[in-house]
Amino acid sequence: MFYRGRVTSKQIQALGMGHLFKMNGGLATVLKLAYPECHWNPWQFSYSDPMIWQDIETVREAVELVEVQHGISKPEQWCNFLPLHALSFL
């Protein structure tokens, strides 16, 4: 995956693709359009449009990822979970 720290904006500009990414909302969006068969977690890119959090499915995917990574199987287990732990995985 092309998540944080893997591809820089300078590399994108050097490839002559800066305008494409700017017009389409960034690397996450371009990859999602180019490879719809792949599952992309937009929140794991170094830049993602803040509007992604308006989509309930994106929020649900992010929460479920944290639950799997931390063995959270019941909603009440979130009470013992520190928010900073969740942010490190998003």
User: DSSP letters along the chain, please?
Assistant: ---TTSS-HHHHHHTT-HHHHHHHTSHHHHHHHH-TTS---GGGSSS--GGGGGSHHHHHHHHHHHHHHHT--SGGGGGGS-HHHHHTT-
Specify the pTM.
Answer: 0.61
**pLDDT of the residue at 1:** 45
- The pLDDT of residue 66 is above 60: yes
Instruction: Tell me the C-alpha distance between 43 and 26, whole Å.
Output: 12
- The pLDDT of residue 47 is above 60: yes
Domain ranges of the chain: 1-47, 55-90
Task: Tell me the pLDDT tens digit for each residue of 12-30.
Answer: 778 777 777 777 777 778 8
**pLDDT of the residue at 32:** 85
